[in-house]
Structure 1
């Protein structure tokens, strides 16, 4: 099964900012326990690669690196054990590096031009970001209409209250969001609380 299909089956992708590597292992266990074994660990902290390396030991976890903006980070993420790459916008440099590294790339798009650039490099599952700020479901419908073969993973401003609206669109494979792994719970070491929220998120979309 492809990574795209695994993500489509799960329907949700927790977007995670890890500030302490000690949180990586219990977080991986919390997501697996919730029945949501997928994580996008963002490269917004100095310890992102270290956290990915720790989490990559959990073979049941589908693990990606997010906020990747250059080729060096692609290499760093691959070496740490990430199996897919996500960026806020389409980057020719990141795209080329992912192709060379044999990694799946979900480029961020915010316009038809972005979509066409991504398609030119062979990417057909795209991150719509920032989803809510760009007009949400209505904008996504308009973007999707001219590109029938494209699938989307919207992220940005999505939460438990509006995720269902996005997932109702046939072009949407999954939704990304940080609400499933609240920073305050991670900082407090409340990983059972994270499992509970992730389970609730899954139950709400079933």
Structure 2
């Protein structure tokens, strides 16, 4: 299982179009004990946010890119400083090119067939997306029973109400979600509760 994921059990999914907030956002997450961020490529200035956060994040803070859909985007996020890429689905070109660029890669899967493709590609962990619609912990139980050496990172519908249940599963090295820094709050520049939510999330991890 990917050790880098074990080091970052809470992966905040960040949708942000304001590069001027990147540094403060990274420090707010860090202050709460969360030392990574997935900057999704869903806004026009996402690459600027990623680059700004990477350039001035706290020591040990790791920044990656999410919603990476094609190999060309891998080059762009790598050049902006991303350490890992996350995709909603499995794309061979994205996986192969991310490895060529020396990045960790976490592709999304929604079926046993896609897990097998990921295993064939040499990956030991995948993102289960959308986890809530696929059955949540029950889906992980079923998949982990037949793919015992694969880690599953649930994303989609994950929040403080169920993160501890997911993290208690031995096949779950990390959870992914947007509740630590909601898009609506970031859009207004309100980061006042990010550290508080991050601290609470890490307490859920400790209790699982």
Tell me the TM-score normalized by structure 1. Answer: 0.94
SS of equivalent to 1:82: coil
Between the two structures, name the one with larger relative contact order (CA 8 Å, sep ≥ 6). Answer: 2
Paired position in structure 1 for 2:202: 202
Q: 2:31 & 2:5 partners in 1: Cα distance?
A: 17
Q: 2:203 & 2:91 partners in 1: Cα distance?
A: 35
The count of residues paired between Structure 1 and Structure 2 equals: 204
Paired position in structure 1 for 2:29: 31
Deviations 1:126-156 (A, max 9, x none): 1011000111111111111111110111100
Q: 2:184 & 2:104 partners in 1: Cα distance?
A: 31
Paired position in structure 1 for 2:43: 45
Paired position in structure 1 for 2:183: 183
Paired position in structure 1 for 2:85: 85
Task: Show the 5 A alignment for 1:84-123.
Answer: 84-123=84-123
The 8 Å contact of residues 16 and 187 in structure 2, kept in 1 or not, is answered as no
Deviates more, 1:77-86 or 1:17-26: 17-26
Paired position in structure 2 for 1:172: 172
SS of equivalent to 1:14: strand
Distance change in 2, residues 1:69/1:11 (3 Å)? same
Q: 2:6 & 2:179 partners in 1: Cα distance?
A: 19
| CA shift for structure 1 position 99 | 2.0
Paired position in structure 2 for 1:134: 134
Q: 2:47 & 2:154 partners in 1: Cα distance?
A: 24
Gaps of 5+ in 2: none
The 8 Å contact of residues 128 and 152 in structure 1, kept in 2 or not, is answered as yes
Q: 1:94 & 1:204 partners in 2: Cα distance?
A: 32
Deviations 1:154-189 (A, max 9, x none): 100011001111111100001000011122322232
| CA shift for structure 1 position 9 | 3.2
| CA shift for structure 1 position 25 | 1.4
